[in-house]
């Protein structure tokens, strides 16, 4: 017999196939629906065979632990840190970001080709922003040893655009051979 009476269904959470509450039914005659009671051990889940959580596939010390995107972010940060040593005052407050791909609508000054990076001037309270597009830069690099140089060149070009200078003035090691 249910707590609501001999012929009335109980209201409140309905246990789902996993034992937790899948949905709550409306209460009859204005009665409040009780909050679902958390299961004991709900923080740790086991797989379907009753085994515990599995560990990481790769240990943190292996090179494959970090994703390609995280390694690319590090390359951009390294390039920015090198430039900030020389241009700290001019780059104060500039935001640097990495996005996977550029938006599908090109900027008015971009004619043909896929941009590798963009400079967005300060606008409506937003600071200056420089965005590097990861996938086009990776596609343009000849190999893994060429990628850090290409990332550095893209960041230097965008900073030069921000400062209104030639890339060679911003970084004497700039190479326009790409």
pLDDT tens digit string along 26-73?
444 545 555 555 555 555 566 667 676 666 677 777 777 778 899 999
Between these two residues, 8 and 141, which has the higher pLDDT value?
A: 141
Q: What pLDDT shows up at residue 24?
A: 41
Q: Using an 8 Å Cβ cutoff, are 17 and 48 in contact?
A: no
Main-chain dihedrals φ then ψ at residue 25, nearest 5 degrees: -90, 150
pLDDT higher than 70, residue 10: no
Distance CA 152, CA 148 (A): 6
The tens digit of pLDDT for each residue in 81-113 reads: 999 999 999 999 999 999 999 887 766 666 777
Instruction: Report strand pairing: 95-99 vs 129-133.
Output: parallel
Average confidence (pLDDT) over 142-149: 92
Distance CA 107, CA 87 (A): 27
For residue 93, which of 131, 132, 127 has the smallest C-alpha distance? Answer: 127
β-pair partners for 25: 12
pLDDT higher than 50, residue 130: yes
Q: Is the pTM of this model over 0.85?
A: no
Q: Using an 8 Å Cβ cutoff, are 44 and 52 in contact?
A: yes
Q: Using an 8 Å Cβ cutoff, are 130 and 152 in contact?
A: no
The tens digit of pLDDT for each residue in 136-145 reads: 999 999 998 9
Distance CA 133, CA 161 (A): 16
Local structure of residue 35 (DSSP, 8 states):
P
Structure tokens at 97: 């970001």
């Amino acid at each position: 017999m249910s707590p609501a009476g001999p012929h009335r269904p109980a209201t409140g959470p309905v246990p789902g196939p996993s034992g937790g509450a899948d949905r709550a039914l409306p209460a009859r005659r204005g009665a409040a629906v009780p909050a679902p009671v958390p299961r004991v051990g709900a923080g740790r889940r086991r797989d379907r065979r009753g085994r515990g959580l599995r560990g990481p596939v790769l240990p943190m010390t292996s090179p494959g632990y970090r994703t390609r995107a995280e390694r690319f972010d590090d390359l951009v940060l390294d390039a920015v840190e090198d430039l900030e040593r020389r241009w700290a005052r001019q780059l104060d407050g500039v935001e640097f970001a990495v996005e996977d791909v550029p938006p599908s609508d090109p900027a008015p000054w971009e004619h043909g080709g896929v941009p590798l990076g963009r400079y967005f001037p300060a606008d409506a309270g937003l600071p200056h922003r420089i965005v590097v597009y990861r996938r086009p830069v990776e596609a343009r690099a000849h190999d893994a040893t060429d990628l850090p140089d290409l990332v550095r060149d893209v960041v230097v070009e965008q900073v030069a655009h921000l400062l209104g200078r030639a890339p060679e003035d911003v970084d004497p090691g700039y190479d326009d051979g790409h």
